[in-house]
Chains A and B, each alone.
Chain A
């Protein structure tokens, strides 16, 4: 598995797109920090970028990589290698190289700016952690979609639809439900509903460290109480972890039984 991971990782690190992705984050980080002068504003803008762009890139890149390396995969399948190591290796190769672009791209300008002396380091750290989690989650989802769809066009459309659903439509439905049932106590419901969407979950985790003043309205207090404690944080992290593990498990399960 490690060998395949290494191959896909090297393959990707030679790819133009990884560099584009890396340079994009590098530029974003530099522009935000050196033209803005306000560190906490920069972190908020970064949050918007991370919770939208990272999932999008993760899904598109994952699907693209799977389809483009399909012939190589079939070649590998002919060798005496376990199927799980082939797919896990490829998956980790993509996810790790994307995460690396993200962490380095944003990390370098922040380190140059002198992040370690500033109090905002924990915000930044949680930003990167959730970014890495989102990369792993959405790459896994993308591999699932690609495995289940031989047709490239269909695969791409499903991938984009998935992103659109989790990033936008889910929140719309969520808000509709909240408005519709506004006469009932909804704080438990909304906590649970956020758990089922990794983008919402990451957003809340970052927000609770930034916009606390507004969130501390009377409902805000409930959320703060939940996510602020170590138990709440642990549950949120577990959920993010499950969001990685479950799609990966399904991917391996499907790959084992698939007739290539």
Chain B
């Protein structure tokens, strides 16, 4: 009976509302603005192939679907925001939006969404944008399969790929973002998921996370960004299976953690970063089954980090596995595989019989005198590292991995 009614309702609504307004150069409706003016709730606007020089299009309180056929080009001619939307239940698909203007005063975006619910931004191509998708005070949005790029040159004069402020239940997936300021920016965004995105060659962060709780980001690729990925002032974040790669530079990290509590990092790969993870004021975080490969520092722990657990990670040929400041250790290192471990395993249980000390005296010295890096891999340094390993004086004595694995951990 229920099904019957809903089918009836569907047919009913189909007959009454579901008009399709076609926009093309030679059609009755030749501009997108006009089409939106004509449209009512439930309508579909079909934009045919062509170039439309329009900006400042607004959609207010209209639940409509905009579909681009064969990627019609919407050219903003560098004059400002292209779509500004305040509505529920709408979607924008298949458009090719170019030339959003730049401004120091306003945040021009390809698509600006304010106070909206239940929307989808899919399969769009955005080039030469200032902000790509800018979302404020909204909820239940899906942003997927978009390609966003620009040519950001300086931080003050560039915007973010996907910028979300004060929103909830957002899903960001399969987007490809390059050459923006921040690839994806979250501020006060809760209960959201970021997955399978690629964020590359951005000026500042691949992903920037501020004051956002209960979010998860999974299977993303962050490569050659100015400073890597930053997660700050947030709680209950889940980070699984991400790849942080080639974030090189004087102030560059794979992942910067600042004031993060109760997060989980599992199955991530950190490869060729100056610093794999830079942790500052992070508490109760579980780092497990991650791979740290060829980083300058795999992990750098600054002050106020308590109750973190580093277990079952693979540390492979990093210049330094761990840098630590201070004498007190409140974190647990257990059952990791360290490629620079030189101990033995007499009882053949796969666990090294001698504990491993991940902090070298040299990394302590470099913290004090950065110029000492010039002595790296000198015989003298090896000698003092060895003597420090035998009887620790400068490095925290209880900072050990008591169960270092003899073989690389697989999962």
Contact = CB atoms under 8 A, between A and B. Distances in A.
B319 A175 contact: no
B296 A213 contact: yes
A167 B375 CA distance: 11
A159 to B, nearest CB: 17
Given A186-B369, A217-B274, A218-B250, A211 B377 contact: yes
Given A213-B248, A215-B296, A216-B248, A179 B379 contact: no
Nearest to B380: A171
B373 A215 contact: yes
Interface in A211-259: 211-221, 223
Contacts of A191: 374
B273 interface: yes
Given A213-B273, A218-B250, A172 B380 contact: yes
B93 to A, nearest CB: 42
Interface residues of B, number: 32
Given A175-B365, A214-B274, A216-B274, A168 B379 contact: yes
B380 A175 contact: yes
Contact of A179 (B297, B317, B365, B373): B365
A181 to B, nearest CB: 9
Nearest to A220: B373
Contacts of A52: 379
Interface in B374-402: 374-381, 383
B35 to A, nearest CB: 53
B377 A207 contact: yes
Given A179-B365, A186-B371, A216-B250, A168 B296 contact: no
A174 interface: yes
A190 B377 contact: no
A217 B374 CA distance: 11
B373 A219 contact: yes
B274 A203 contact: no
B372 interface: yes
A200 B378 contact: yes
Contacts of B365: 175, 179
A217 B250 contact: yes
Given A213-B296, A213-B319, A219 B376 contact: no
Given A216-B274, A218-B250, A223 B379 contact: no
B224 interface: no
Given A47-B377, A190-B374, A217-B296, A178 B319 contact: no
B278 to A, nearest CB: 12
B368 A179 contact: yes
A171 B373 contact: no
A223 B368 CA distance: 18
A213 B272 contact: yes
Interface string A159-174: 0000000011101101
Contacts of B369: 178-179, 182, 186
Contacts of A171: 375, 378-381
Chain B CB within 10 Å, residue with most, of A41, A213, A223: A213
B373 to A, nearest CB: 6
A187 B374 CA distance: 9
A178 B371 CA distance: 7
A19 B296 CA distance: 39
A51 to B, nearest CB: 8
A48 interface: yes
Contacts of A219: 370-371, 373-374
Interface of A: 38, 40-41, 44, 47-48, 52, 167-169, 171-172, 174-175, 178-179, 182, 186-187, 189-191, 194, 200, 203-204, 207, 211-221, 223
10 contacts: A169-B380, A175-B372, A178-B371, A200-B375, A204-B374, A213-B273, A214-B296, A216-B250, A219-B370, A223-B373
